[in-house]
């Protein structure tokens, strides 16, 4: 039985550094820089309303996306910016959405909590905790009917494991043997409450897997290659028809639950401990130890930072949407009329 310090893995991959390694690093950097830019825009008054960022979680979204192909689906929570970006969503379209501008990834109708990019296989960010887990079953059921070997990955937080929809969705997926990987991003807190204060088991997703006949799988969610390796194995099983999996990825958000949360309820020693294990700097160290030149890593960082600055400048200059678009694309047919 693995614990946080000894997570289950499907074997460590340690190839010589190559383009794939740098792409993992670049993708995590993009998610981090976009989160930082979003926080700046929110502070400056450009982004309105609630916003939930995933700085600290980047290894999960990027590690999972590295295992997927066109036709696979992902679906997530209101902390979904990084998941859309990892599947290939346009950073400028994401920022335009956050700013409520024309050209937003959801045509300025979704905002921060509903980032979606179906064309890239990301089927939405859902603000009601746990509500999207049964939808993930629907996506996986459709994939099974089509018989093309595609899979769905459903992301959710540790707090969702105490929602009835979690247990209903896992039960249904197990009974129907759906090609579905449930990926719990356990950052130790369900909003402001430690998950350990309200759950009788140490790992609220993985420790309940056996009740549904599934394996207990825990992974270091701050190690992008560990996430990739474990998810790759689970994806392969699902493609072969071996049914669903639950993977619990241990991580930590570097800041508060939302942009408005100073996170003063977290012990400072705990915050500092996890800050030393954050995934972006950690992977840079790994690449350095594999003899990737510092100037090459610096170049990737510079490229990503410049990209984010450029797309933010263009997004800020974009016009607000016109009123006539308010009632378009509410339904899949492009309209807004209620259908019975």
pLDDT in tens, 19-32: 889 999 999 999 99
pLDDT at 2 over 50: no
Classify residue 195 by burial, with Cβ atoms within 10 Å: 0-12, 13-18, 19+.
buried
- Selection from 272, 333, 259 nearest residue 38 by Cα: 259
Per residue in 254-281, pLDDT tens?
Answer: 999 999 999 999 999 999 999 999 999 9
Confidence of residue 17 (pLDDT cuts 50, 70, 90): low
Question: Residue 267: CB partners within 8 Å, gap ≥ 6?
Answer: none
pLDDT at 102 over 50: yes
Q: Average the pLDDT over 277-303 and give the result.
A: 97
- pLDDT reported for residue 326: 84
Pick from 3-7, 42-46, 58-62, 133-137: least confident: 3-7
Per residue in 196-238, pLDDT tens?
Answer: 999 999 999 999 999 999 999 999 999 999 999 999 999 999 9
- Selection from 232, 203, 228 nearest residue 217 by Cα: 203
Whether 153 and 72 have beta carbons less than 8 Å apart is answered as: yes
- pLDDT reported for residue 8: 47
- pLDDT reported for residue 250: 98
pLDDT at 313 over 70: yes
How far is 262 from 333, CA to CA, in rounded Å? Answer: 42
Percent of the chain with pLDDT over 70: 95
- pLDDT reported for residue 308: 98
CATH of domain 19-311: 3.40.50.970
pLDDT at 340 over 80: no
Q: Average the pLDDT over 92-120 and give the result.
A: 95
Question: Residue 274: CB partners within 8 Å, gap ≥ 6?
Answer: 56, 252, 254
Confidence of residue 11 (pLDDT cuts 50, 70, 90): very low
Average pLDDT, the chain: 93
How far is 216 from 176, CA to CA, in rounded Å? Answer: 19
- pLDDT reported for residue 200: 95
Q: Average the pLDDT over 153-159 and give the result.
A: 97
Q: What pTM value is reported for the model?
A: 0.92
pLDDT at 304 over 50: yes
- pLDDT reported for residue 336: 84
How far is 273 from 277, CA to CA, in rounded Å? Answer: 7
pLDDT at 15 over 70: no
């Amino acid at each position: 039985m693995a614990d946080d310090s000894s997570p289950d893995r499907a074997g460590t991959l340690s190839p010589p550094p190559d383009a794939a390694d740098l792409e993992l690093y670049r993708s995590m950097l993009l998610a981090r820089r976009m989160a930082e830019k979003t926080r700046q825009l929110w502070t400056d008054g450009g982004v309105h309303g609630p916003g939930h960022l995933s700085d600290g979680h980047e290894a999960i979204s990027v590690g999972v996306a590295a295992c997927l192909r066109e036709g696979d689906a992902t679906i997530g929570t209101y902390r979904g910016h990084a998941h859309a970006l990892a599947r290939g969503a346009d950073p400028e379209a994401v920022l335009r959405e956050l700013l409520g501008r024309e050209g937003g990834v959801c045509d300025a109708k979704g905002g921060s909590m509903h980032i979606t990019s179906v064309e890239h296989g990301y089927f939405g960010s859902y603000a009601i905790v746990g509500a999207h887990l049964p939808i993930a079953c629907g996506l996986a059921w459709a994939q099974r009917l089509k018989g093309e070997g595609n899979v769905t990955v459903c992301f959710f937080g540790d707090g969702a494991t105490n929602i009835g929809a979690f247990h209903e969705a896992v039960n249904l997926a197990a009974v129907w043997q759906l090609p579905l990987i449930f990926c719990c991003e356990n950052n130790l807190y369900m909003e402001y409450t430690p998950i350990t204060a309200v759950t009788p088991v140490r790992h609220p997703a993985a420790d309940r897997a056996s009740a549904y006949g599934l394996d207990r799988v825990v992974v270091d969610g701050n190690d992008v290659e560990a996430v990739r390796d474990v998810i790759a194995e689970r994806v392969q099983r699902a493609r072969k028809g071996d049914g669903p999996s639950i993977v619990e990825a241990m991580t930590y958000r570097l800041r508060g639950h939302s942009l408005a949360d100073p996170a003063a309820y977290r012990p400072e020693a705990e915050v500092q401990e996890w800050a030393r294990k954050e995934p972006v700097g950690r992977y840079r160290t790994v690449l350095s130890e594999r003899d990737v030149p510092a100037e090459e890593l610096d170049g990737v960082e510079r490229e990503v930072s410049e990209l984010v600055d450029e797309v933010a400048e263009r997004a800020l200059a974009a016009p607000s949407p016109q009123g006539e678009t308010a009632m378009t694309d509410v339904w899949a047919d492009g309209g807004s009329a209620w259908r019975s």
